[in-house]
């Protein structure tokens, strides 16, 4: 049984070239007779947890793999909202909002990365200052 669904933005910082990037992951937590589990996916494709070495993302600049850290999280409601929540009845499911079927995939890396350039510049300056000492 699914106990929680969320979208998690995971931030990575390369320890080799100090590049920062982030990726959005869909996360489902569920429980069954064997215990509690967590399931990660990107763009509908199952992936290992980005918080473990097996799921570490490669740096887009130098290719080294780095474990991520949670930057932001948004829960996705798994059940209908409370009474009075806006809703629309679906009377013809196969033809309901057909444009959804042809819409392009919103990729997990499609978001802007706030403060990325400022943070990159600060880290490069710090690395340069440390190398000069």
Q: What is the pLDDT of residues 85-117, one digit of tens each?
A: 777 777 887 877 888 777 777 787 776 655 544
Q: What is the pTM of this model?
A: 0.70
Residue 131 confidence class, pLDDT cut points 50, 70, 90: low
Tokens for 1, please give them. 């049984």
What are φ and ψ of residue 85, in 5° steps?
-70, 135
**Per-residue confidence (pLDDT) for residue 117, from 0 to 100:** 46
**Per-residue confidence (pLDDT) for residue 123, from 0 to 100:** 62
Residue-wise pLDDT tens digits, 31-86: 889 889 999 999 889 999 999 999 999 999 999 998 999 999 999 887 777 787 77
User: Rounded to whole angstroms, how far apart are CA atoms 43 and 108?
Assistant: 6
Residue 127 confidence class, pLDDT cut points 50, 70, 90: low
| pLDDT at 133 > cutoff 70 | no
């Amino acid at each position: 049984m699914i106990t929680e669904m969320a979208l998690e933005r995971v931030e990575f910082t390369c320890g080799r070239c100090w590049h920062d990037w982030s990726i959005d992951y869909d996360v489902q937590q569920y429980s069954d007779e064997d215990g509690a589990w967590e399931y990660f996916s990107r763009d509908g494709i199952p992936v290992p947890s980005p918080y473990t070495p097996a799921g570490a993302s490669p740096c887009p600049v130098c290719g080294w793999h780095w474990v991520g850290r949670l930057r932001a999280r948004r829960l996705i409601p798994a059940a209908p909202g409370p009474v009075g929540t806006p809703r629309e009845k679906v009377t013809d499911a196969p033809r309901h909002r057909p444009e959804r079927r042809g819409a392009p995939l919103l990729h997990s890396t499609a978001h802007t990365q706030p403060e990325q350039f400022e943070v990159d510049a600060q880290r490069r300056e710090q690395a340069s200052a440390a190398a000069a000492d």
